[in-house]
Amino acid sequence: MEASEEPAPQAPAAPPLPPTKPFLLSAAFVCASLLMWITQGIGLNMVAVNIPQLQGGLGATTAETTWLLAAYMAPNVSLTLFLMKIRTQYGLRLFTELGLLAFVLVTSLHWFIHDLNSALIVRFFSGAAASPMSTLGFFYMLEAFPPSKKMSWGLCLALTCTTIGAPLARIISPSLLGIGLWPQLYMLEIGLAMMCFATVYTLKLTPIPHQKVLEKLDFISYPLIALGFGLLAMMLVVGRLYWWLEAPWIGICLAVAFAALALAAAIEFNRENPLLNIRWLTSRQTLTFAGMLLVFRLVLSEQTAGATGMFQALGIYNEQSTGLYWVLIVSSVLGGIVCAMVIRPGREAYIYTIALLLIMTGAFMDGHANNLIRPEMMYLSQAMISFGGALFLPPAMAAGLVSALKNGPTYITSFIVIFIFTQSVGGLFGSAVFGSFVTWRQQHHMRALYDQIVLTDPLVAQRVAQLSASVSKVVTDPVYVKAEGAVLLGQQIVKEATVLSYNDLFLLVSAIAAMTLAILIIRRVVVPVLMRIWHFLSGHTPASEQLAVN
């Protein structure tokens, strides 16, 4: 009896939660994360938003200068995957210090750029050295919040910071170019890199346990993955400029990329501790999640390949569009804050619905532009798209991260691959597809407009005469004056066809968002209702048949 009355052994106590950080310390971590994201975003976008200015300084064509962006993206899209394992095995502190030291040293190489060839080499190593910046941006933002708010405020604000790099680069570029042309662009990048280096030595992250995760096969699989992703990124950046079916080397590079990825998948498929879990990546739930992220990234390309591209085609560059880019930043920040306030498990479908409605409506509003459109006329529509994008990504990423964690920590690297592929490669894919779509539709509209232009038409003759009058004061030959009027009319036709092609793009984005919303409603509302009706009928049919027999 005495033995039976002995108390049962108690379960071991849960480890105590880490103490809440003081407000000022948390604010310092948030500012550090913002600095990391700004440095990463400006380094990535500074070339992309200043192609016309850079090509003059380097003495290169537009296509040749665009290779600077391709060289940067080639190592950047995949290196984060391998760095995740290096960080886990050798510790966060060593990873942070060495990663930032390499970033500072490589960024300083911009001092030695004198021509396009040297610029390509430096940009390639800059893309590789900048890979830890996104990881550090996430860690510093999550470090600022207690565990209960890491997946709400921490995740939402970190993802919001990823969206401000491109508009911020467009805002500050005109001032930098006015000071000292294109060398000022990389001087800012060097200064930001040094600030980040000082920050990681001053503000230390919480160390994580070391774990031996690197294996010999990782050093075989990763080069194949890097080769495949790098070639895909390069072709998506420059393929539209050389046109997809005109340059044979594009097909060769794509074939090598797919062959490398297929070989890497074959190696990883039967590994006990794979770098990529192919079975999980090809599961229905994971493919659905990846598809949602890819569609999101595709529709958000409307702002870079759509609105910005249209304004550049109309001769409106960064200095005239500063107000629009400030609107994009403010609306993204507001969207991230609202998402952090409302995000909860089970609310994902409602947040997706609101985000897609905003993106669909904003793109539809943009689809009715004309050649008199100016940036201030698109403030509302572009703000709706930015706000919707800030709402969409955090719940989608949180759901995918939770799904990966349920299967074990080894699935995190596979989840990182999905995120990198859908956001980095997906963004390049969206720009390539939309840019090609605009080119195709522009040719279509030009043919349609030229078919309507007949010089014997009185209205056309009157328009040519009006345009000719603008050059008659400097050209005396009447034949040349009339010919110049016809040339000016052709330029107006090209401008009108360009605006019409971008209208088609905006309406296409609106249609994609509407189709995604319809699929979401069918999956979340229609299918469950039909299943309940089916179960109700199938559950009552045997009883009714039994009564009929009796």
Could you report how far apart the first and last alpha carbons of the chain are, in Å?
60
Query: What pLDDT does 152 receive?
Result: 79
- Tell me how far CA of residue 472 lies from CA of 191, 212, 460, 476, 485, in angstroms: 53, 79, 18, 6, 9
Measured CA to CA, the distance from residue 364 to residue 377 in angstroms comes to: 14
Measured CA to CA, the distance from residue 25 to residue 35 in angstroms comes to: 15
Query: What pLDDT does 233 receive?
Result: 85
Measured CA to CA, the distance from residue 325 to residue 383 in angstroms comes to: 10
User: Would you say 359 and 384 are in contact if contact means Cβ atoms under 8 Å apart?
Assistant: yes
Query: What pLDDT does 458 receive?
Result: 75
Query: What pLDDT does 70 receive?
Result: 84
Tokens matching residue 195: 């600030």
User: Would you say 292 and 300 are in contact if contact means Cβ atoms under 8 Å apart?
Assistant: no
Query: What pLDDT does 414 receive?
Result: 66
Rg of the chain taking only CA atoms, in angstroms: 28
Residue whose C-alpha is closest to residue 441's, from 546, 250, 306: 306
Query: What pLDDT does 471 receive?
Result: 67
Measured CA to CA, the distance from residue 469 to residue 209 in angstroms comes to: 77
Three-state SS sequence of 315-332: CCCHHHCHHHHHHHHHHH
CA angle 70, 236, 85 (to 5 degrees): 65
- Tell me how far CA of residue 502 lies from CA of 49, 182, 317, 376, 446, in angstroms: 19, 30, 17, 17, 13
Query: What pLDDT does 3 receive?
Result: 45
Query: What pLDDT does 547 receive?
Result: 42
CB-CB neighbours of 422 under 10 Å: 25
pTM above 0.95, yes or no: no
Query: What pLDDT does 6 receive?
Result: 46
User: Would you say 250 and 242 are in contact if contact means Cβ atoms under 8 Å apart?
Assistant: yes
SS3 163: coil
Query: What pLDDT does 451 receive?
Result: 77
Query: What pLDDT does 298 receive?
Result: 79
**Per-position pLDDT tens, the chain of length 550:** 444 444 444 444 444 555 666 778 888 888 888 888 888 888 778 777 777 777 776 777 778 888 888 888 888 777 777 777 777 777 666 777 777 777 777 777 767 767 777 778 878 887 777 777 777 888 888 888 888 887 778 888 888 888 888 888 888 877 777 776 666 677 777 788 888 888 888 888 777 667 777 778 878 888 888 888 888 888 888 888 888 888 888 888 888 988 988 888 888 787 777 777 777 777 777 777 777 778 888 787 777 777 888 888 887 877 788 888 899 889 988 988 888 888 887 777 888 888 889 988 988 988 888 888 888 888 898 899 889 888 888 887 777 777 666 766 556 666 766 776 777 777 788 888 888 888 888 888 888 877 777 767 677 777 777 666 666 666 666 666 677 777 777 777 888 888 888 888 889 888 888 888 888 888 877 777 778 888 778 765 444 444 444 4
Sign of the CA dihedral running 197, 68, 509, 167:
positive
